[in-house]
Structure 1
Amino acid sequence: MTSTAVPAAVVVEGAYELAEGGRWVDGRYVYVDILSGRLFELRDGTGPAAPRQLARLDVPLGAVAPVSGRPGAWIAAAGTGIALLTPDGTLEWLDRPEDRTPVPSRMNDGVADPAGRFWAGSMAYDGTHGAGSLYRTDPDGTVVRVLDGLTIANGPAFTADGTVLYFADTAVGTILRCRVDPVSGGLVGGPEVFARLGDGEGGPDGMTVDVEGCLWVAIWGAGGVRRYHPDGHLLHTVTVPAPHPTSVCLHPSDNRLFVTTARYGVENPTETSGAVLGFPVSVRGTAACSWRGTVSA
């Protein structure tokens, strides 16, 4: 395992409370500030720049994915459920499953898979153990609870063929891996532990898979990003100059890593907490997949 501490470029000086969900979409970097319910895009990813705000919701916004064939429309893990976000900022709810949970909860990170489904996790506001779930939204708009009993369901990421799903339970320090039937979207067997972080190592947060099939993971509470081989062994760690990195996104063409960070829970935040940071790396990523929904936005 190798480790690097290359200087981080501050791509966006955002002072965000909880920046998250960074994705490369149609030639732009898209991300959210969860607690303020804001969605941003950044078209110039080279150095400090002013992002454009695309939407501001009155509920927390965990993550979005583009809707295939509908420019400007998004599927969103927001508030207590899954909604379509229209170009004018209107939310059209598909389902709000977290309204039916015993403790106040919200949606968290999410991603579309190569088959056009949208997957997103949830968590209780107070971090109640076992209160989180993982959901799948099918193209017909049906929202399915795939797994429950999680605590902070985070960072879903897929391999290029859509047959392997990685996700994290941040609070208990585990990265899980599931086999997925790419036709039905059903899990083939239960989740297995792919990697486990020890005490003091932080918690796994946002994730992405690079073009070589390796998994990149933001490590909340430890100021780092880890790259894992598909067999589970740790290949490399990038030092992040902020204690709470939250999501990772690899540029599809120019070997850059974008990392969102949080000010939430940081006693003395600097400009790198609540920002978007950039790092040179040796591998590329892929553009975000779209949700191929058949319901109107």
Structure 2
Amino acid sequence: MKTSDALLWSPAGLELGEGPRWVDGRLVLVDILSGTLLEADGPHPGDLRPTNRLEIPLGAVAPVAGQPGRWIAAAGTGVALLDPGGVLTWLGRPVGDGPIPRRMNDGVCDPAGRFWAGCMAWDGHPGAGALYRTGTQGQLEQVLDGLSIPNGPAFSTDGTIMYLADSAQGLVLRFPVDPTSGDLGDPVTFVVTHDGSPDGMTVDVAGNLWVAVWGAGEVRRYSPQGRHDRTVRVPAPQPTAPCLGGPDGTRLYVTTARYGLPPKTYGHSGGIFVAEVDMPGIPAAAYGGVLPDAG
């Protein structure tokens, strides 16, 4: 197994950095609890620029096809269109009711243009999480329940496989997907971690799954057969998500978090790290649906 080290790319100082995406030659990510969307130019390290700040948590975004600067967002208690001026147009807020306070968390688009996003209880209450799918007609549906802290998902390049982490359970599930309908088949357990929690994930062009392991200070690569064949060590204990990008797609960007750490132990936690790898990723998939005008 190959092991390498990630280097600090930007100090950033994020509380809960997540959801990095390589979009149109730049790195885009969120700081969840501050509700902030940020970006940085291309391969060059430097200060992140906030492009939107919301009054609610911002779990993840994906670009909207053909509409530069617009995003579909897992935010607060639902899914919304986020326009360049920060206006949210809600497609649905399904997690606002119920006895356990919940918020949206990680999310991504599949190759067919559907947006998938999970929710979790604010206190991580077991079984309170769920996974939602936003179809290309804007319809928002719950497709899984009984999760605790869903992260990801990540899709194979042809959209026939979905990986979904339940961080609190220390496992990554693998689902067959009907690429036409988006229907899920029965899952199998793909990865179990015992020394940390699987968090954000991404798939490269060869079908390998890269998994950030919160608490272990690592990003691990698994072959399509589930073999752990590479580790990238991150000098921060709480890596949250990987993203493959850069000029040729072989630069691994890793977001991290300060959340829950004593200030004296922050170090570079909350920064963004980078490592060169041997397999490129693919550009972030865009939402391909028809959305209402912002307002």
* 1:129 partner letter: P
Q: Secondary structure at the match of 2:95?
A: helix
User: Which of residues 233, 249, 267 is equivalent to 1:239?
Assistant: 233
Q: Structure 2 CA distance, aligned partners of 1:102 and 1:51?
A: 37
Contact kept in structure 2, 1:13 and 1:271, CA below 8 Å: no
* 1:244 partner letter: Q
Q: Structure 1 CA distance, aligned partners of 2:103 and 2:128?
A: 10
Q: Secondary structure at the match of 1:98?
A: coil
Q: Secondary structure at the match of 2:96?
A: helix
Is 2:175 aligned against 1:178?
yes
Q: Secondary structure at the match of 1:288?
A: coil
Q: Structure 2 CA distance, aligned partners of 1:115 and 1:95?
A: 21
Is 2:12 aligned against 1:9?
no
Gaps of 5+ in 1: none
Offset of residue 87 of structure 1: 1.2
Q: Structure 1 CA distance, aligned partners of 2:265 and 2:274?
A: 18
1:152 aligned partner: 149
Q: Structure 1 CA distance, aligned partners of 2:10 and 2:82?
A: 24
Q: Structure 1 CA distance, aligned partners of 2:265 and 2:65?
A: 38
Identical pairs, percent: 55
Offset of residue 190 of structure 1: 1.8
Q: Secondary structure at the match of 1:213?
A: coil
| Structure 1 residues 1-297: aligned runs within 5 Å | 1-4=1-4, 6=5, 8-47=6-45, 49-187=46-184, 189-198=185-194, 201-251=195-245, 253-267=248-262, 268-297=264-293
For these two proteins, the number of residue pairs brought into alignment is 291
Q: Structure 1 CA distance, aligned partners of 2:182 and 2:112?
A: 8
Contact kept in structure 2, 1:15 and 1:271, CA below 8 Å: no
Q: Structure 2 CA distance, aligned partners of 1:271 and 1:25?
A: 29
Deviations 1:58-78 (A, max 9, x none): 000000000111111100000
Offset of residue 228 of structure 1: 0.1
Q: CA RMSD in A?
A: 1.2
TM-score by length of 1: 0.95
Q: Structure 2 CA distance, aligned partners of 1:172 and 1:40?
A: 30
Q: Structure 2 CA distance, aligned partners of 1:161 and 1:239?
A: 29
Q: Structure 2 CA distance, aligned partners of 1:255 and 1:86?
A: 30
Deviations 1:89-122 (A, max 9, x none): 1011110111123300100010001000000111
* 2:238 partner letter: H
Q: Structure 2 CA distance, aligned partners of 1:144 and 1:25?
A: 26
Deviations 1:36-78 (A, max 9, x none): 000011114323x022211000000000000111111100000
Offset of residue 197 of structure 1: 1.1
Offset of residue 165 of structure 1: 0.4
Q: Structure 1 CA distance, aligned partners of 2:89 and 2:9?
A: 32
Offset of residue 254 of structure 1: 4.8
Offset of residue 262 of structure 1: 0.1
Offset of residue 271 of structure 1: 4.2
* 1:193 partner letter: T
Q: Structure 1 CA distance, aligned partners of 2:128 and 2:250?
A: 38
Q: Secondary structure at the match of 2:191?
A: strand
TM-score by length of 2: 0.96
